[in-house]
Chains A and B, each alone.
Chain A
């Protein structure tokens, strides 16, 4: 119905506007150029940032620090007077464990919410839910950090008997809550994009609602759902302020959910300000930035490859 009525409308609207059209025609190459510039500038920015971080890290990268020690040592003693040690293994484990834990909470919760909103929720509550979840995404990370530190921390001490409230579990929960809105909104969009004919076909074959979701919608929307999860992962890895406040910021390999940990991002945030500009510690912090850059690159690349692989399979 809609498709048929639109062309009629546009031809009607165009007739009196011939003069305006020529203005638009003239402006078109300009706008085209502008848009092209926007596109290219993204590439330029990425390379400029990469180069800037690389430049800051170069004195650590070439000769300052043994890369084997950098990646395999769990000893981070950057300001030691005896022998400064720059081993980021514990920080890497910290970042990965917080991210994995956050995703363990956020993926079921986020995808569940997305399924509920797109498939089961009736009109009005659906709109309210969507707005509230978008509001959740708008809460600044410092506020999340504050909640983890002031509210969740004491609760964790009381309920779990943890020695300290700011720890891996606290960071994981806060990060999960921060990534859920992204997973929900992207996931819901991709579920909505599955044509209704799929649902109708499944219904006519006698599938239950659960079977429709599990057997039909998930496979049909898997690119979008994967993208939703990876966006969540990206948010969790890159998050700084909230994890700085909630994870306890302790250099150690966690042995349990209640151990404090430290992440790569939080280390840069807390130490950059007071390291001597141009010194080795400063340069090593840039090197950590480079490692973070590399991790996100790998996550994105993996996502691309998986999505492409899925596409080829379908053909």
Chain B
């Protein structure tokens, strides 16, 4: 939550300060600098920031501004014309595509730039090693009946409480949608009364403070105080650990594409920037930050 709030404030500060800074800067620098506005998913904000910094080094004439806020915020901003590129960790919804078409007069285009694997986190003292998608569905899904750690085979009260504390995400976030669709299946709802964290980092931090908790978040958010579970597709099968290889070759079951949306056919500096992101250089950054880069065949096209 705190991270998110700070991000909000820093974006507000950016909005307020940027025009002033630009106005002040204009006198000195050549007027040729182009700005690319990049906004959206909190999951992707670290990558987007790293891309922007690296690209600014290489191309001093192009300035990339990055804002977080969430996938929905980025899409809303793209629809309103307040940004050029929207980072999203979910697909655009049909009503959003329709709105974009009406307001901007062109089709939004989707470019997959990498993958994210959602890891299942528990407290570091939790003896559980592996969990199946069916068990996760029984835990998080509306019709699910799994509520106690003893039902997962843990010794009674080893986590201070037998009740499983489900750490969920706020219901608008891209991560929430992705988890719901992948684990519960299409057209299913989450069980209410979960503890909803307001950001990827906050979910992990809450789990690290709560021995009886289980939750999900991007695998780049792991810390020393939490443990990532192996995940299997069926109960009893050996689980796959959330690693780069397992995520890219599809052995790890909870993997999602990260994408950038742009309105119409990209051209000029925006196109160059997107091409660079898909190049081995851009993909190297995805790798360094703990996300899953595109396989080399995908990135060269």
Alpha-carbon distance A252/B69, docked complex (angstroms): 26
Q: Determine the chain B residues whose CB is within 8 A of the CB of A262 once the complex forms.
A: 196
Query: Is B23 in the interface zone, CB < 8 Å from A?
Result: no
Contact B2 A82 (CB under 8 A): no
User: What's the Cα separation between A314 and B194 when bound, in Å?
Assistant: 51
The residue in chain A whose Cβ has the minimal distance to the Cβ of B198 is A270
> How long is the Cα–Cα vector from A132 to B73 in the complex, in angstroms?
41
Considering the complex, which residues of chain A in the window 200-238 have a beta carbon less than 8 Å from any beta carbon of chain B? none
- B76 on interface, CB distance cutoff 8 Å: yes
- With contact pairs A76-B192, A270-B170 given, residues A153 and B71 touching in the complex (Cβ less than 8 Å): no
Contact B213 A271 (CB under 8 A): no
Q: Of the candidates A74, A75, A279, which one forms a contact with B95 in the assembled complex, judged by CB atoms under 8 Å apart?
A: A279
Shortest distance between the CB of A230 and any CB in chain B (Å)? 29
User: Is B189 within 8 A of A80, CB to CB?
Assistant: yes
* Min CB–CB distance A234 → chain B (angstroms): 23
- Does the CB pair B70–A274 fall under 8 Å? yes
Q: Which residues of A contact B177 (CB under 8 A)?
A: 79
Give chain A residues whose Cβ lies under 8 Å from the Cβ of B163.
163
Query: How many angstroms from the CA of A146 to the CA of B198 in the assembled complex?
Result: 13
> Closest residue of chain A to B72, judged by CB?
A274
> Judging by beta carbons under 8 Å apart, are B165 and A163 in contact?
yes
Q: Does B209 contact A (CB under 8 A)?
A: yes
A229 to B198 Cα, complex, angstroms: 31
Residues of A in contact (CB 8 Å), total 43
Q: Is residue B206 contacting chain A, with contact meaning CB distance below 8 A?
A: yes
Residue A162 is within 8 A (CB to CB) of chain B in the complex: yes
Contact with A along B135-155 (1 / 0, CB 8 A): 000000000000000000000
CB nearest to A80 among chain B residues: B189
Query: Contact mask B207-225 → A, CB, 8 Å, 1/0?
Result: 0011111000000000000
B167 to chain A, nearest CB (A): 9
Is B33 an interface residue when CB atoms closer than 8 A count as contact? no
Which residues in chain A, 75-104, are within 8 Å of chain B measured between CB atoms? 75-82, 90
Distance of A69 from chain B, by nearest CB (Å)? 15
Q: For residue B5, which residue of chain A has the nearest CB?
A: A142
Of A3-11, A38-46, A187-195, A242-250, the one touching chain B = A242-250
Whole-angstrom distance between the Cβ of B9 and the nearest chain A Cβ: 9
Known contacts A164-B165, A252-B192; A78/B187 CB under 8 A: no
Q: Which residues of A contact B190 (CB under 8 A)?
A: 77
B1 and A273 contacting across the interface, CB-CB below 8 Å: no
| Minimum distance in angstroms from B120 CB to a CB of chain A | 18
- Which residues, 41 to 91 on A, are CB-close (under 8 Å) to B? 74-82, 90
Q: Which of B175-201 contact A (CB under 8 A)?
A: 176-177, 186-190, 192-198
A contact residues around B172 at 8 Å (CB): 78-79, 270-271, 273-275, 281
A163 to B210, CA, bound (A): 7
Tell me, in angstroms, the Cα distance from A161 to B210 when the chains sit together: 11
A241 to B4, CA, bound (A): 12
Kindly report which residue of chain A lies nearest to residue B1, judged by CB atoms: A245
Produce 1/0 per residue, A127-142, CB < 8 A to B.
0000000000000001
In chain A, what residue has the closest Cβ to B171? A79
Tell me whether B161 is interfacial, beta carbon within 8 Å: yes
Residues of chain A contacted by B96 (CB below 8 angstroms): 276
Whether B212 pairs with A164 at a CB distance below 8 angstroms is: yes
Partner of B198, one of A142, A249, A250: A249
Q: Does B236 contact A (CB under 8 A)?
A: no
A274-B77 Cα distance, complex, nearest whole Å: 11
Shortest A289–chain B CB gap in Å is 17
A172 within 8 A of B: no
User: In the complex, what residues of A have CB within 8 A of residue B76's CB?
Assistant: 276-277
Interface string of A256-273 (1 = CB under 8 A from B): 000010100000001101
Q: A78-B171, A157-B211, A165-B210 are in contact. Are A273 and B160 (CB under 8 A)?
A: no
Judge whether A149 and B1 touch: CB under 8 Å. Answer: yes
Contact A77–B73 (Cβ < 8 Å): no
When the two chains form their complex, are residues A276 and B2 in contact, meaning their CB atoms are under 8 A apart? no
CB distance from A148 to the nearest CB of B (A): 11
A153 to chain B: closest residue by CB: B209
Binding site for A on B (CB under 8 A): 1-2, 5, 69-73, 76, 80, 93, 95-96, 99, 160-161, 163, 165, 170-173, 176-177, 186-190, 192-198, 206, 209-213
The 8 A-B pairs with the shortest beta carbon distances in the complex, nearest first, are A274-B172, A274-B72, A252-B193, A163-B161, A249-B196, A270-B170, A251-B192, A163-B212
Q: Apart from A149-B209, A274-B73, A275-B72, what 18 extra A-B contacts exist at CB < 8 Å?
A: A79-B177, A81-B186, A142-B2, A145-B2, A150-B209, A161-B160, A164-B165, A165-B210, A166-B195, A250-B192, A250-B194, A250-B195, A251-B196, A252-B193, A260-B193, A274-B173, A277-B76, A277-B80
